[in-house]
Structure 1
């Protein structure tokens, strides 16, 4: 008899919970429809404030992001796209924003003189610290221009150093850490007399001389076989010890094929600031 009473109480309790959840869901749906009717960032933000983990929350968040991108597109300024990327660092439309930002930045970077680029510095921010590089546009003007454009477009944000060879070389700048990743285009080689000595920064490439894109390497030893075969365009001024520490991260080894020197634990480039 007591068991029947307990079962009845449990059933009543569960039914009450179901009714409550159904009512909650109904309230949430109505609130979302009201937000849809207004169809503004503010309306969706108010909805998310009330229902941060609701079944419509992902949809509201995505619409906020999309409308924010549209606002950046309407303004069509570098500042507007940078603001979008700051607000949505891992957003669904990040690639689109970077592409449009890259165009705007490219227009500005084209106007830079060799003298102006020579005064600039690139600050590579990583999980292990910062590496500051000095450009040599007198030797490789278009390579410097390309690197500066990609950095200012936030292309390198979140990419990895996907090749680490202890006390020899580190290489990064590929989206997703893919061995053949790049920006979707290739640049012409500017081979010069700058040697691949410790601290030298050069553009990685495939078998064709004009196949560099976004990937770059930092030498930690003299690599003479690369002299005049790869475009060296910069030199580490500060933080070579950071690059050295990165080079010592554990990787599978030669038997692992394409990922032989890819660290087990990803080493991320947070961003590259141009100063």
Structure 2
């Protein structure tokens, strides 16, 4: 009743980001004992900002790089710190939130380049252990675009990938964008299209680094995708899973029914979010534990 009309109506980016920050303060539950540690990640002279979000026992099973959503235009640490900390706890991994530059001020490939820098910096850290790539919505796009870049440039492979309601086809052709327009209780069509347009800038939506559903994933690690049948991006998740499977990648597509876009943000407040975050943690632990044997 409030968030969907607000996303559709507010086009002024500073105001949209302030509203998103205020919504996070009001809505999302901060885990007791959460600790935040800022850390720069540097590779070949390029430095990006990140924050380790930690709660619970010390991590033992590797490192997570989290790429946040927000239609490429909003989203910040205050909105995601609780989810990143809980995912790290569930996976027993050190969880990094990346402060990437957002559109429209910084269109493609700024965020992807920064994600690449962060990932390669972690790859050179001997204490990192197995690395997982995790992201939601627009961050899911960046996760799979980064995975395509890793596979096509023969960079070190991550141990696992998990995505929540990813947007992976910026050609915006998916049927669910229309058929689920009313059943999606969070994302308005205008907001989704505005964000994708702002991020692409002058880039070609056929570029697999823009629309990773068109990417190449030879040698990619196991992937988990969670989405809901009623959200507008449902078909993006189905198409991404099909593209990965067609290239021989092990992928688990988990579709719920009747939940909002990236319901995981309600972790600590809803049993559905708690269960899905726990499932992601089990998946990541199962893969990374094999990497350390």
TM range (shorter): under 0.3
Higher RCO, 1 or 2 (CA under 8 Å, sep at least 6)? Answer: 2
Q: Which has the higher helix share?
A: 1
| TM-score normalised according to structure 2 size | 0.25
